[in-house]
Amino acid sequence: MMRTTWISRLLTKKTDLPVYWAAIALGLVGGSLSGCGLQKDIDVELPAYPPQLVVEAYLENGRIPRLSVSESGPYLAPPTLQVPTDVQVVLTQPNGRRDTLRYGPNIDRSTGKGYTHSGNRRLTARPGDVFQLEAYDTKGRRITGTATMPALVPIDTVEWKFDDKPGDQRRAYVLVKFQDPANATDFYRFQVHKGRLTEEAEVEYTPDDRLTNGQLVTLGTSYEFEPNDTLIVTLYHLDRPYYQFLQSVDDARGANGNPFAQPSGVRSTVEGGIGVFTVLSYQRRQVILK
């Protein structure tokens, strides 16, 4: 069975958020009135939304392009992954060549994520290259997207320091330093994995350079790593649409299941459906905490 990705699980719960909170509010009111003998059952008729195509595509230089296409579902529906089998996917290269990706659901062993479509040749992507994506099915649904590869922002140093606690209580923090480019607005994603990339990141956040433009930037963690931990530290340089997508996903996750939070939708980087299409630009270091 294909492992669902985090975006697929989240996006199936996007469409009916306002209706869901309305239903919760009615339930709370009904519960209050029932204590006074004034309970009244109300049937809330939920609007029907047609399922949309959902795409999750991350291109990388030197790797075969792989992406997943699924379907969204109503908010109150069980969180099951719906994979349409009639979707055609075309990736347009910077030189104008159109490559049709083949359908074949599988698991990417390097990331642990499932995909539905893949190419036949490794991708060549340079900073500034523009790629286009088109996915369409026999029902007339069509998703399009454009993505530009950001320039690489290299890691300058990776440092760590242990606290003064004795024995098994010792913990270390990790610092990453890099030079932010001047005269531009830049967005980043900082991740620290323990052991393998297929596991959930121990640390992850997405800063920008509003206060550090053109400076030597330091990103760090708390005291949370043990002696001899093997860590994989990754610094992504993001384009604005992907950064806004990640921010909206965090907001939606925070609002999901919280009746006191403002409902928040995912800000897709594609048109005609839901999801993300981007070209990754990152540098990665592996360290052992000695």
Q: pLDDT by residue (tens digit) across 91-135?
A: 999 999 999 999 999 998 878 889 999 999 999 999 999 999 999
C-alpha to C-alpha distances, 94 to 98, 127, 131, 146, nearest whole angstrom: 10, 11, 6, 11
Domain boundary among 127, 149, 171: 149
What 3-state DSSP class applies to 118? Answer: strand
Q: Express each pLDDT in 189-226 by its tens digit.
A: 999 999 889 889 999 999 999 999 999 999 999 999 99
- Check whether residue 16 and residue 127 sit in a common domain: yes
Burial class (CB within 10 angstroms; exposed 0-12, middle 13-18, buried 19+) of 250: middle
Domain boundary among 149, 176, 204: 149
Residue 23 lies in a domain: yes
- Close Cβ partners of 282 (under 8 Å, ≥ 6 residues apart): 152, 189, 234, 235, 236, 237
- CATH code of 22's domain: 2.60.40
- Check whether residue 10 and residue 140 sit in a common domain: yes
- Check whether residue 129 and residue 179 sit in a common domain: no
| Residue 78 lies in domain | 6-149
Domain boundary among 149, 184, 208: 149
**Total number of domains in the chain:** 2
Instruction: Confirm if 15 and 74 have CB atoms less than 8 A apart.
Output: yes
The two three-digit tokens of residue 45, written as one number: 């008729």
- Check whether residue 109 and residue 192 sit in a common domain: no
DSSP H or E run through 22: helix 17-34
Measured CA to CA, the distance from residue 181 to residue 289 in angstroms comes to 29
- Check whether residue 10 and residue 95 sit in a common domain: yes
Q: Express each pLDDT in 130-188 by its tens digit.
A: 999 999 999 999 999 999 999 999 999 999 999 999 989 999 999 999 999 998 899 99
| Residue 169 per-residue DSSP state | G
- Check whether residue 69 and residue 189 sit in a common domain: no
Residue 221 lies in a domain: yes
Query: Of 23-37, 135-149, 253-267, which has the strongest mean pLDDT?
Result: 135-149
Q: What is the pTM of this model?
A: 0.80
pLDDT at 113: 86
